[in-house]
Amino acid sequence: MHALKLPFILQMRQASLEWLETDAPILIYMVKATIAGLIALWISMKLNLPDPRTAIFTVFIVMQPQSGLVFSKSYYRVVGTIVGVGISLLMMGFFAQDPIWFITFFAIWIGICTAAGFKYRNFQAYGFVLAGYTLCIVALPVIETPLEVFDIAVSRFSEVVVGIMCATIISDILFPRHLSDSLLSAERERFGNVLSTLADPDSIFGTKEDVQAQATRFSSGVVGLNATRINSAYESGADRKDRQHSQHLNHEYMNLSTTFHSLKNMVRAIEPQTSPEMMSTLIDLYAPIASSLRSFRTNTFSADDLNRIIQELLEAKNTIGERVKVEQEHLKPVLDEDSYDAFTSTAYLIIRLLSELHIHCVTYLSLLKHRLSGSTSTELSRVVRFSTHTDNVLVGLAALRGSGVLLVTMGFWIATGWPYATQTITLAVVIGLLIGTLPSPLDAVINFFKGGITAVIFAAVYDFYIIPEFTSDLLTLSLVLAPVLALVAWWTTQPKWSGFSLGFVFLFMYECALDPYYKIDPTKFMESALAYLIGIVFAGAAYLLVNFWSCSLTQQRVAKILRRQIVTVCEGELTLQRSALESTGRDLVQQFSTQGRLNMRSSRLVFEWLLLTLEIGRAILSIRRSLERLYPHYRHKSIDNALESIRIFFDTPSESVRKGLLITLKDSLHELRINELPNEKVQSNRLQTVMNELALIRTVLLNIDSFPVVTEDSCR
């Protein structure tokens, strides 16, 4: 009996731990959202605000499981509302009498907001969305009586502020969950991933598919983690040092993953042509890195372990550098020029991987020390910014769609003269703004519509049966509302229900009788519900029409933008940081793979192009930097020639230019190699760097055939 009991208790323990891990947070979130919503409703009813539904609606829009997200979304909601209210006061002051100008400026404003919402990331985008649709909410209902606009603007603003105060205070006081904690564990996991991937030489030199899959995991998550970091800045606890460390880690991780992938691609490309002994030399070169990491495969890092690893990596760095020089001397007479270049650039990549890994470990150690004791081991003075890039064609298209929806629904209003058509306009504009940034907008609109219909049914039951039958005061109203609010909160935690829950929140809040005094009549209810549903249909039609992103078009756009980046690197300012190059490239590809319609194969292809661009761009920057500090008489004409022909190739790519470029690169490398290296150590090192980078560019271009001349059609 006793023996049986123990496993049962253990089982129960495990089950309850699992429950605490996964279900309890959702339950807590539901309770929090419901309480915040009801408090907002109560406060705005007590303050006699004309439209308490806006406050409770705000709570549900802003509420997120983690407080950092709530803070940043609230901040942008307040800013967006202020701007929107200000613009509507201006518009009503200027154009209330003149429909043509009113509609024109309305359309321009919505276009600007959609474009800006599309261009910016995270909740910044949400601020613009709000600035756009606040105009609809404030200006349209009072179009007949323009003098009331000030009152409605003030009350709208107060309601939003009440909602936001409730949401933020409740989410930070009641069982707060902090974004910085999840950031911490994500960083630890990522660091562990890096170490375990690099500890296995097969992940670079192996060709087996299962190892490949593990290695592709290496590269994901840069953009997402950066967003988490930005939002966690609104929480307390994470101070400036912490944020700096995260920025640096992210940046170093990007560099490391680029180097890793280039090394892998390089090995895969040169393997068939080279002699096995050269391959084994390369594997030997890598061996010290792997052996120092292998002892370290667990996910719990202590500072002492890390210290030891850093020490070992430092030693490995010295020995590998020496060995490469020896091997180069040894192999130079044996190999032909192509293989020699391949060897030099691969060895060079291994050295770079090692030194970047070393830096990454040092930063992580410093972060660990900072979290443990508050002191850091390295000073991080340089500010690394995560820059983004959005394609202007996509932005223009989004603006066109936003303004188009507004104009068409305005036309609908003018043609029908239906008083409820303003609600059609509002909802169509809201959807046009809000859903445009989601991965598949059309599906989201369809789900929004389903959610809307469900909400209308719920609202009808509430308006005509439950509220008049069972409520007499605020307390009873809160009691009957609580289950629906909890349900909505649960829906918002499920990613697959996101469109649905959004539609439900919008229509339920606007259709439910949440006025200070109960006033509802069936005709009005049905007409406004109909108006909202028509609005959703209009917005859906817009997404259906302005949605001609085919796979091949997306590919062409990406290729063009990446090519232009290299051209900019060739001729632009030298102050461009590698981090800017890396982060814009990654952000761009991430955006295209969510917005454009890429299949698995072509998105892998696009990722390859990205790596190529990053690698070549970095090499060009490094060549140009070395050239700048090289004495003029060591500056061979051939280096400038090589750079110029690289620029021309990426400016106007074609097969013949590519052949010419390869010959130019070969010639200039040859010329550099027959010349004597300068006696002075620093100058000689710089020239050596230029040669290494040129060899790298040449090997990369020699072995990759799909970019920038897009030959393969991977869209089928």
Partner 1 sequence: MPLDITLFGIQMPTLLPIFALSAVLQILVDRVMSDTGFYTYVWHPGLFRTAVFVCIFTLPCLLIYR
For partner 1, give the closer residue by CB, 173 or 461: 173
* Residue with Cβ nearer partner 1 (162 or 198): 162
For 48, the 3-state DSSP assignment is coil
Region of residue 70 (left: phi > 0; alpha: psi -120 to 50; beta: else): alpha
- Size of interface with partner 1, in residues (CB under 8 A): 11
Near partner 1 by CB under 8 A, which window of 167-175, 289-297, 445-453, 686-694?
Answer: 167-175
Coil, strand or helix: which one is 87? helix
CA–CA gap between residue 216 and residue 697 (Å, rounded): 23
49: left (phi over 0), alpha (psi -120 to 50) or beta: beta
- The CB-of-174 to partner 1 minimum distance in angstroms stands at 9
Q: Kindly state whether residue 237 participates in binding partner 1, applying the rule CB under 8 A.
A: yes
CA–CA separation, 608 and 429 (whole Å): 38
- Phi, psi of 51, deg, nearest 5: -135, 75
Q: Which is nearer to partner 1, 67 or 345 (CB)?
A: 67
CA distance 124 to 59: 18
Residue 291 contacts partner 1 per CB under 8 A:
no
What is the amino acid identity at position 322? E
- The rounded distance, in Å, linking the Cα atoms of 562 and 554 is 12
Q: Is 148 in the site for partner 1 (CB under 8 A)?
A: no
Residue closer to partner 1 (CB basis): 236 or 556: 236
Q: How far is the CB of 183 from partner 1 (least distance, A)?
A: 15
Residue of 374, 417, 439, 495 that binds partner 1 (CB under 8 A): 374
| CA 259 to each of CA 110, 200, 201, 474, 571: distance values in angstroms, whole numbers, following the listed order | 43, 16, 15, 62, 24
Closer Cβ to partner 1, 239 or 628, answer by number? 239
Cα(97)–Cα(144) distance, rounded to whole angstroms?
10
> Quick one: which segment of 118-126, 237-245, 303-311, 573-581 binds partner 1 (CB under 8 A)?
237-245
Compare residues 272 and 374 and give the one whose CB is closer to partner 1: 374
CB neighbour list of residue 518: distance below 8 Å, 6 or more residues apart: 467, 468
By CB under 8 A, tell whether 172 contacts partner 1: yes
> d(Cα 410, Cα 110) in Å, to the nearest integer?
13
Closest CA to 692 of 443, 328, 437: 328
The verdict on 201 binding partner 1 (CB under 8 A) reads no
671 touches partner 1 by CB under 8 A: no
In terms of C-beta distances under 8 Å and separation of at least 24 residues, what long-range contacts does 540-547 make, across chains too?
540/431, 540/442, 540/445, 540/446, 540/449, 542/401, 542/404, 542/405, 542/408, 542/428, 542/432, 543/401, 543/435, 543/441, 543/442, 543/445, 544/442, 546/397, 546/400, 546/401, 546/404, 547/441, 547/442
Pairwise CA distance, residues 370 & 233, whole Å: 17
In this complex, which beta carbon is closest to partner 1, that of residue 242 or of residue 582? 242
Residue number, 374 or 632, with CB nearest to partner 1: 374
Q: Is 640 in the site for partner 1 (CB under 8 A)?
A: no
Find where tokens 């300012």 sit: 573
What tokens appear for 349 in the block? Answer: 């990549």
Amino acid of residue 492:
T
**Residue 169 interacting with partner 1 (CB under 8 A):** yes
User: Quick one: which segment of 5-13, 181-189, 231-239, 557-565 binds partner 1 (CB under 8 A)?
Assistant: 231-239
Q: How far is the CB of 52 from partner 1 (least distance, A)?
A: 20
- Which range touches partner 1 (CB under 8 A), out of 4-12, 116-124, 172-180, 466-474? 172-180
| Of 343, 366, 157, 357, nearest in space to 244 by CA | 366
List 216, 236, 302, 654, residue binding partner 1 (CB under 8 A): 236
Closest separation in Å from C-beta 243 to partner 1? 10
- Residue with Cβ nearer partner 1 (110 or 170): 170
Q: Which residue, 361 or 368, is less far from partner 1 as judged by CB?
A: 368
Distance CA 339, CA 333 (A): 11
Question: Closer to partner 1 at the Cβ: 176 or 678?
Answer: 176
Distance CA 255, CA 247 (A): 13
Under the binding rule (CB under 8 A), the answer on residue 239 touching partner 1 is: yes
Tell me how far, at minimum, the Cβ of 67 lies from partner 1, in Å.
7
As measured in angstroms, the least distance from the Cβ of 234 to partner 1 is 10
240 touching partner 1, by CB under 8 A? yes
Check residue 224 for interaction with partner 1 (CB under 8 A): no
173 binds partner 1 (CB under 8 A): yes
Instruction: Check binding of 93 to partner 1 (CB under 8 A).
Output: no
Report the amino acid identity of residue 448: F
Q: Which is nearer to partner 1, 162 or 646 (CB)?
A: 162
**CA nearest neighbour of 395 among 18, 113, 180, 63:** 113
366 binds partner 1 (CB under 8 A): no
Q: Does 667 bind partner 1 (CB under 8 A)?
A: no
Q: What is the DSSP string of 298-356?
A: SS---HHHHHHHHHHHHHHHHHHHHHHHHHHHHHTTTS-HHHHHHHHHHHHHHHHHHHH
Nearest approach, Cβ of 132 to partner 1 (angstroms)? 25
* Residue 29, H or E segment: helix 2-46
Whole-angstrom CA distances from 188 to 194, 200, 398 are 10, 19, 38
Q: How far is the CB of 169 from partner 1 (least distance, A)?
A: 6
Q: How far is the CB of 362 from partner 1 (least distance, A)?
A: 22
Residue with tokens 């508050």: 374
Looking at the Cβ atoms of 120 and 150, the one nearer to partner 1 is 150
Shortest Cβ 61–partner 1 spacing (Å): 21
- Closest to partner 1 by CB, 67 vs 409, is 67
- Interface positions, 58-87, toward partner 1 (CB under 8 A): 67
Q: Are 136 and 426 in contact (CB under 8 A)?
A: yes
CA angle at 322 for the pair 321 and 327, rounded to the nearest 5°: 100
Q: Shortest distance, CB of residue 173 to partner 1, whole angstroms?
A: 5
In angstroms, what is the minimal distance from the CB of 148 to partner 1?
Answer: 16
97 or 373: whose CB is closer to partner 1? 373
Asked if 181 interacts with partner 1 (CB under 8 A), we say: no
The one among 35, 137, 194, 238 contacting partner 1 by CB under 8 A: 238
- Closest Cα partner for 194 from 70, 359, 375? 359
Cβ at position 226, least distance to partner 1 in Å: 20
Residue 71 or 543: the one with the smaller Cβ distance to partner 1 is 71
Binding site for partner 1 (CB under 8 A): 67, 169, 172-173, 176, 236-240, 374
